[in-house]
Structure 1
Amino acid sequence: MTEELVIMRDRQAVTTSLQVARDFEKNHKDVLKAWKNLAAQNCATKNMFVEGTYVNRGKEYPMLYMNRDGFSLLAMGFTGKKALQFKLKYIDAFNQMEKQLQQQKPLSLPEQISLIAKGYENLSADVEDIKNRMGLPSNMALAFSKKRNAKIINVLGGKKSNAYCDKNVRAKTYRALFSSYRETFDQDRYNDLPMKDFDKAIDFVNNWYPPFELQQEIQQTNAQLAIV
């Protein structure tokens, strides 16, 4: 019964106008009217009540949350033996809930800072885990592709070179680069590269050169006279 009479809201023990109306056998609208009369008489009561809403049959209606002081003022005018019994039960419920709140020791500033830091650490760990497992997103894959193509063009001597225009030589060069890439990063596709290795892959492309035999073939192809 105690748990039904008083609840915790925003770290404060409160009850509701709906609960009060039900227990004291009042119409809910009369409880709200009594609150309005209290508010009209003294504006200090505004800190004792918080307006809220509840839904009944798909429609929204007003209700109140009230702390111990608000309940005491509101229930002051409720008379009769049954009313007295419920007042005592509410007082006991407030006492128990507030005792629970007092037992919840607030965190010290160092503890709060430590908790926040731990949250950042966990977030960083989650981000790092994603980077470790996730392949390249489209923007990074495109950047890598451009870097790779630029390297191939440079190695072949430019887009107007004989080696670049020779589809066979150009295909050999792409295959050679990918073979070295697969051996270095243990990946069967460029886009499967983990995000964490992106910078390493860019450095790999920048520093890559074809094997000696292929370099010789490229030089020989570029040395050939163009057929007029």
Structure 2
Amino acid sequence: MNELVIMHDQQAVTTSLRVAEVFGKQHYHVLEALQDLISSPENTGLLKKSFAKGTYKGSNGKQNPLYYMNRDGFTLLAMGFTGKEALKFKLQYIQAFNSMEQQIRTGYTIPGSYAEALKLAAQQAEQIEQQRPKVLFADAVSTSQSTVLVGELAKILRQNGIDIGQNRLFVWLREHGYLINRQGSDRNMPTQKAMNLGLFRIKESSHVNGDGVVITTKTPKVTGKGQQYFINKFLGMSDHAASEIGD
């Protein structure tokens, strides 16, 4: 059990054995603490829902007891763990619970065992081969620290099934308030709303023309956050909404 948090009975849990490993405690000490919690007079419905008995195979081949616990159960147990290192591990657990619960909310399939993980990996590999353009969305996310031109964003969208080119994307961005729509030197520059959202950066460059005059140009570039924002927005559109992207 290398993960801090796993799936069990359709919820995010950890185990008494994993807690003992992470916090550097003897497993039987953790079991004793859990049994004290469960047998306490204050044991309410919340406590009963927070823990579930289970077993694991020890190095001697025997089945040994453990407890599964959800976020509430872990919180109650870990209240008694003190010290700088304990705080660090508690924060790691909170982060792990948040991550797992987010995956559950978004419907992501989470394997409950190594065998299931292998099966899921094989299924995903087959899906990737069948729907290779969708990989570009993951690529866009992985390179989210870099900025791209609007035309490059249009290519990513098109390769993900959105029928739109650079010119139509500029029109859409203007019509939806992300780029300035009025005529003038600031046309196609990001609006204040888009800048506040962190969707664009403005790249300035200068060159000397034939008359010796320094010319400064400004180019809107989509930030990593902006790439994720617009890709998610377009992929999340209904077919009807997507069909309304016009010239």
TM range (shorter): 0.3 to 0.5
Structure-1-length-normalised TM-score: 0.44
The answer to which structure has the higher helix fraction is 1
The structure with the greater share of residues assigned to strand is 2
Task: Please tell me whether Structure 1 or Structure 2 has the larger radius of gyration of its CA atoms.
Answer: 1
